[in-house]
Structure 1
Amino acid sequence: MDHSKHVRLAPAELTAELLDGATIYGPGDEKIGSVSHLHGSQVVIDVGGFLGIGAKPVSVSLSELEFMRDEDGDVHAVTTWTKDQLKQMPEHVDP
């Protein structure tokens, strides 16, 4: 997928409603997870698993992700993190 042609989201568009469920792509353009929810300025990403079962929630800063819309209007993000790097992070637990 050529992300260079996708429209970047403006800061005002970065809402929980819009980002919920967005696919996260790693540096090799592979799917590495999806947005579970926002927690302040943190994005909780479900990594691994299958259909949400067995996924590990990890938290990264919103600034670590570049959110955009593709040609179909679907919201997704790219990051420099790999799936393995995310899996090594501590599990996010909501207070």
Structure 2
Amino acid sequence: MDHSNHVRLTSDELTPTVLEGATIYDVDDNKIGTISHMHGSEIVIDVGGFLGIGAKPVAVSAGDLDFMRDEDGEVHAVTDWTKDRLKAMPEHRH
């Protein structure tokens, strides 16, 4: 996926309504997770699992994600994190 034409989100758009459910991609454009919810300034990502079953929630700083909107208006994010690195993180508990 070519992200160069995607529009970066403004800080005002970084809200649960906009971000929840967004797909997270690594630098090689592999899907590595989905945003579950926001917890303060942290973004909770569901990693692994299948169709949301068995996924592990982990929390990262919003600054670790580059949020953007594609040509169809779909919000997603790109990160330097890998799926394995996220899976190795401690599970986020509410």
TM-score, length-scaled by structure 2: 0.99
Spell out structure 1 runs of 4+ moving beyond 2 A.
none
Cα drift, residue 47 of structure 1: 0.2
Gaps of 5+ in 2: none
Match of 1:43 in 2: 43
Kindly provide the amino acid, as one letter, of the partner of residue 58 in structure 2: V
| Percent of residue pairs identical | 70
Distance (Å, rounded) in 2 between the aligned partners of 1:53 and 1:25: 19
Match of 2:6 in 1: 6
* Equivalent residue pairs, number: 94
Paired residue secondary structure (1:86)? helix
Distance (Å, rounded) in 2 between the aligned partners of 1:35 and 1:45: 4
Paired residue secondary structure (1:51)? coil
1:40-88 C-alpha deviation (Å, 9 max, x unpaired): 0000000000110000000000000010000000000000000000000
TM-score, length-scaled by structure 1: 0.98
